[in-house]
């Protein structure tokens, strides 16, 4: 059994200051996909990650974005970037035999029209990148912060958020098409219940009231369907405005 965690930590140093390392020790995942690390490897105490191999892909801009994969097993190969907008540090891939794990931090469009347009362009390029990668590596687990709620069940107030970035019709259509291109939403595969979220605004006591959005996913390619065992959102981990999502797979 392999236990994978995806977690947008909203600053790895901030998360560590809130007890994240103890939480990881207690949870003991095999692979951790991180997003928004907001740090360079040189700014971290690498002794904190003993027992794990760790691979970092930071953004060019300090204190911004960045992804990582932390793994008990040494991957056969690690690839940073995806060939476009790599200065933003959004994609890192680790290969284990014939299975590839990707940690992805998709752009947000909340800061305005320009970034929203950038987001849609980025999503189109990412689809093309994955379509191409799938020919060579069909067994993919793409874990991370997609910055999109797929369906009304995935957001606390779909009506008032109908025009909000992260729940726009074109974003939701992209995510639906991406899943239809050969991916399983592993959480929904096991859980059809509402009120399951992975991100809450810091405003208006949103987390305490569970007024959230489900924007963090483990999408698993169809050839791995038989390996799926369990998926769960872990809202009691409070090192970030996101919470971790767990995926268990049998290999």
Neighbouring C-beta atoms of residue 65, cutoff 10 Å: 20
β-pair partners for 199 = 213, 242
Position 2 scores a pLDDT of 96
Q: Which residues of the chain have pLDDT under 70?
A: none
Confidence (pTM): 0.98
160 CA to centre of own chain: 25
Please give the Cα distance from 221 to 140 (Å, whole number): 5
- Domain locations along the chain: 2-249
Going 69 to 11 to 154 to 150, the CA torsion angle's sign is negative
Strands (E), the chain: 2-8, 31-35, 53-57, 67-71, 77-80, 91-96, 99-105, 139-145, 183-185, 199-200, 212-213, 216-221, 228-233, 245-249
Give me the CATH topology for the region 2-249: Deoxyribonuclease I; Chain A (3.60.10)
Residues carrying an active site annotation: 145
Q: What is the pLDDT of residue 189?
A: 98
The number of beta carbons lying within 10 Å of the beta carbon of residue 236 is: 8
Give the phi and the psi of residue 46 in degrees, each rounded to 5. Answer: -70, -15
């Amino acid at each position: 059994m392999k236990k994978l965690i995806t977690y947008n930590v909203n600053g790895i140093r901030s998360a560590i200051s809130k007890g994240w390392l103890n939480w990881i020790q207690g949870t003991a995942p095999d692979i951790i996909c991180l997003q928004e690390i907001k740090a360079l490897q040189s700014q971290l105490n690498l002794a904190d990650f003993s027992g794990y191999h760790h691979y970092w892909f930071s953004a060019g801009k300090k204190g911004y974005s960045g992804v990582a994969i932390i793994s008990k097993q040494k991957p056969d190969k690690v690839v940073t970037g995806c060939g476009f907008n790599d200065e933003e540090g959004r994609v890192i891939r680790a290969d284990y035999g014939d299975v590839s794990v990707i940690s992805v931090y998709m752009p947000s469009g909340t800061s305005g029209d320009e970034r929203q347009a950038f987001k849609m362009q980025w999503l189109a390029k990412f689809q093309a990148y994955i379509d191409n990668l799938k020919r060579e590596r069909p067994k993919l687990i793409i874990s991370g912060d997609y910055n999109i709620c797929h369906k009304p069940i995935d957001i606390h107030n779909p009506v008032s958020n109908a025009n909000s970035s992260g729940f726009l019709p074109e974003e939701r259509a992209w995510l639906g098409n991406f899943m239809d291109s050969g991916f399983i939403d592993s959480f929904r595969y096991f859980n059809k219940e509402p009120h399951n979220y992975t991100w809450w605004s810091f405003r208006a006591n949103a987390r305490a009231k569970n007024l959230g959005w489900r924007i963090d996913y483990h999408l698993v390619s169809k050839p791995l369907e038989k390996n799926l065992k369990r998926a769960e959102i872990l809202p009691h981990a409070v090192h970030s405005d996101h919470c971790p999502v767990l995926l268990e797979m049998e290999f």
